[in-house]
Structure 1
Amino acid sequence: MPCPALLISAPASGQGKTSVTAALARSARRRGQRVRVFKTGPDYLDPMILSRASGHPVHQLDLFMGGVDHCRALLADAARDADLILVEGVMGLFDGNPSSADLAAAFGLPVMVVLDASAMAQTFAALATGLARFRDDVRVVGVVANRVGSDHHAALLAEGLPADLPLVAALKRAPALSLPERHLGLVQALELPDLDAQLDAWADAWDAGCAHGQASEALWRPVDFSSAPADPIHALGQPLSGRRIAVAQDACFSFIYPTNLSMLSTLGADVRLFSPIAGDDLPDCDALWLPGGYPELHAPALQQHPRFFDALRQHLGAGRPLLAECGGMLVLLDALTDADGIDHPMAGLMPGQARLQPKLAALGLQAITWPEGELRGHSFHYSTMETPLAPIATARNPNAGRTAEPLYAQGSLRASYVHHYFASNPAAVAAFFKGDR
């Protein structure tokens, strides 16, 4: 079904892609439009913001982690009931392999480029034109000037832009609209009580900024997604029918791709969410997933609920599958040292300890071979870990980066720093959670 769609990109990170995408989504939603937003590449924090802006879960579109057919099926599904589809890019438009430009080319998505204009004038047009002309298979249909100082500044920025590359909006500089950040990026949406007011302020800024720009019909031209095949996940049937899978989900365990949860349900699982830091008991379950998050920030809260650690011990003692990713893995260790050097006892179910450090320890896409088959995902963490366990596999980085995370197994436990994208191999994920060995 045809639906207007737009990929929002930039020449680099930090230009304002997330705030512009969120502002556009909230503005369209306030006008009564049904908006679906996607995020390119591995990211948890930006999608939380975009989900609040649009009122719907934000799924990933990643050609490496999900593949072309899976991504096309997600877009087609969104187009069936949306008036507008927005896709936020990752890094710069042409950065990475695959890049945001590759995604735009694969699905015919028109591109709107966001440029931080705070330190330039006429060069703005040269940079925007260069991005628009760099690849023939990528169609850049407009440009947004972000962090503009004045109306005169906006006029200088528009000078020299070709007719087919209009200035869509000029957004005034407003430091008060910035979101707080911490070591892994933006603070989580659930930790920002005034987020909705801020999103409305962003939408107001977008509406005001559009008054300084030019309308462009090419910007909202429908893209046809009707030829998309069925999502490959549906071909598996329901191998998890009758399986109860508990998933920790709260401010401590929050790095969860919505597609992972929906895929487990599609495969027949009874997904049971619970909050360890709120003191929820581990639900009656056949398998358990501890996703990543911020255990270093919530260690005291975990220690206030010792029943959680006891339930984990009983779960593993019964030989039930447990997948622990990144922060979820750190919770199983003997100890975790936070950024202030304070040691926190953890569950003691996986030998070893971890320490937060001020600099990034690992970053990159990952492909890792489980006993059930290869899965894909990514790694992003500031902690380092020591364990006497020998890995059963080591990931590879498709971009030849240094990050190559080990995979550990101990009884029914599977643990790694890798944040897995379940849709990269749903059959392997289903086999693990079924306990097939």
Structure 2
Amino acid sequence: MVAAPASGQGKTTVTAALARLHARQGRRVRVFKCGPDFLDPHWHQLASGHPVHNLDLWLNGEADIRARLHEAALDSDLILIEGVMGLFDGEPSAADLAVKLGIPVLAVIDAGSMAGTFGALVHGLRHYRPGLPWAGVLANRVASDGHEKMLQASVRGDDLGVEPGGIDAGWLGGLRRDADFALPERHLGLTVASELPDAMARLDALADAMSATPLGRLDATGWQRWAVSFEAQPARAVVPLLQGRTVAVARDAAFCFTYPANLDALRALGAELVFFSPVADELVPDCDAVWLPGGYPELHAQALAGSTRCRVALAAHIAAGKAVWAECGGMMPLFDALTLLDGTRVPMWGLLPGEVAMQPRLAALGPQCWDTARGELRGHTFHYSVTATPLVPVAHTAPGSRFGRPEAIYRQGPVRASYFHAWFTSNPEATAQLFLPEAA
């Protein structure tokens, strides 16, 4: 597991660099992401050449995580898991997952403007949580060879010592500070890899830099010191409640927050999936239900405002009583207008009454669960916009964290909409109801 003391330290950079380095060498690499993150997996999928699934003890449950890792291990040479936020942040945290599953932690620390304090951070990360499996530390944004030597010298001897079993748990190198392969960011996180024409070149530059570190020079035997075994898990029976039904999924630069596991869950329910692009003003395909996942409608507001053919087709779909599930960014274009950060009011599709306004600060973040008529459906929320609507919520989610607040579930006719991002595999039966015309 690649973890760090905080967000922005370089976890994604190091994970993607390792994935690309080993994929280039012909190894089969699978990457997973801790927590309900949509953006980092785009980079890891490009780097590894394989879909990236999310691992979260609260969302997935331990059995589902073990099943995913066992399945990946059957046909992979290397499995990497990127942590979330800081190593001990969140409920549950990346450290909780590492301890529960016995996964060694590689600590990535931004060493810019730091020397001796680096060693204190290493010591704290390694010893704060008793029983935390440890792989070692890698410094990020190192200024020079001299700087790297100071960082390495700051790490105390017992933090570079030998773990039980003879595993060297120490210094694994440093990556230089280099803007040429920095992964660009914006308000929700990293820029989606597919939007950058030089994305692969950036990953190759990262892989080249990683290859010069002790970690990057490890062979298969070196990596095997951190091997973890996972047993097969009993398969979960899923009743094909969507058998014979077609679900149309919006998929483009504005609607890109889609878990691969959610697509798999719909297929397991028996649904046939077809895809369309509202940004390109494509017609909604012939289908029984529509899913509008989250994404960046605010970055493509003008294009969506001009998507007349798509809007008319979606309105006809709704008028026919066919289901629509719209979550977060997928919900926003359904309202009358979207006001951007600069104050520009952009007319939207007018399929739900109300308006959405972007905010300069995060409006909500954290795990959520929806107590539906078919049981608890888990998910999370993460948005920078607020909605003003005369619609009366038909339900509210309950925050999975003591610091969270509920999210409204709206319904108008066959349309259900919310800022709530659902994790479909947490309750396939409740998920199926989102794509059926009757009430969930």
Under a length normalisation based on structure 2, what TM-score does the superposition of the two structures give? 0.93
Structure-2 separation of matches of 1:93 and 1:211 = 20
Moved more, 38-47 or 100-109: 100-109
Question: Aligned partners of 2:333, 2:232: CA distance in 1, in Å?
Answer: 45
Long gaps (5+) in structure 2: 163-168
Q: Which position in structure 1 is the counterpart of 2:349?
A: 347
Paired with 1:402 and 1:64, the residues of 2 have a C-alpha distance of 14
Does the residue aligned with 2:331 lie in a helix, a strand or coil? helix
2:150 pairs with one of 156, 165, 170: 156
1:205 to 195, 205, 209: 209
Q: Indicate which of 416, 426, 429 corresponds to 2:428.
A: 426
How far apart, in 2, do the equivalents of 1:52 and 1:270 lie? 25
Which of these residues, 186, 193, 196, is aligned with residue 200 of structure 2? 196
The counterpart of 2:136, out of the listed 138, 142, 151, is 142
- 1:78 matched to 2:72: yes
How far 1:303 moved relative to its partner?
Answer: 2.8
Q: Distance in 1 between matches of 2:304 and 2:39?
A: 22
Counterpart secondary structure, 2:430: helix
1:159-199 C-alpha deviation (Å, 9 max, x unpaired): 22422331112111112321222211111112111000000
> Who is 2:180 aligned against?
176
Contact 1:168 1:214 in 2 (8 A): no
Query: 2: distance between equivalents of 1:127 and 1:206?
Result: 22
Q: Does 1:223 align with 2:228?
A: yes
* Counterpart residue number, 2:397: 395
1:98 and 2:92 aligned: yes
CA distance in 2, matches of 1:77, 1:288: 30
Q: Partners in 1 of 2:99 and 2:223 — Cα distance?
A: 16
Most deviating of 315-324 and 134-143: 134-143
8 A Cα contact 1:145 1:171, kept in partner: yes
Check whether the contact 2:399–2:406 (CA below 8 A) recurs between aligned residues.
yes
* Distance in 1 of aligned mates of 2:217 and 2:174: 6
Number of the residue aligned with 1:3: none
3-state DSSP of counterpart to 2:135: strand
Q: CA deviation at 1:212?
A: 9.6
Q: Deviations over 1:252-290 (max 9, x none)?
A: 111111110111112211011111112321111001100
Superposition map of 1:32-431 within 5 A: 32-159=26-153, 160=156, 161-164=159-162, 165-210=169-214, 217=222, 220-230=225-235, 232=236, 235-431=237-433
Offset, 1:155: 1.6
Please tell me whether the aligned partners of residues 20 and 47 of structure 2 are also in contact (alpha carbons under 8 angstroms): yes
- Report the TM-score, using the length of structure 1 for normalisation: 0.94
1:50-80 alpha-carbon deviations (Å, 9 max, x no partner): 1101111111001111111111111111111
Q: Secondary structure at the residue paired with 1:144?
A: strand
The residue type equivalent to 1:417 in the other structure is: Y
- Looking at structure 2, the residues matched to 13 and 402 of structure 1 have their Cα atoms a distance apart, in angstroms, of 19
1:91 to 1:392, Cα distance in 2 relative to 1, 3 A: same
| Residues in 2 aligned to 1:404 and 1:376: alpha-carbon distance in whole angstroms | 13
- The answer as to whether partners of 2:248 and 2:290 remain within 8 angstroms in 1 is yes
**Match status 1:10 vs 2:12:** no
The percentage of aligned residue pairs carrying the same residue is 52
**Do 1:393 and 1:407's aligned partners in 2 also have CA atoms closer than 8 Å?**
yes
Question: Which range is displaced more, 339-348 or 363-372?
Answer: 363-372
Partner amino acid for 1:138? L
Q: Give ranges in structure 1 of 5+ residues lacking alignment.
A: 1-6
Return the letter of the residue paired with 2:172.
V
Report the RMSD for the aligned CA atoms in angstroms: 1.8
Which 10-residue stretch deviates more, 119-128 or 283-292? Answer: 119-128
Query: Which moves more between the two structures, 130-139 or 191-200?
Result: 130-139
* Superposed CA offset, 1:23-68 (max 9, x none): 0000010111000000000111111111101111111001111111
Q: Number of paired residues?
A: 428
The aligned amino acid for 1:147 is: R
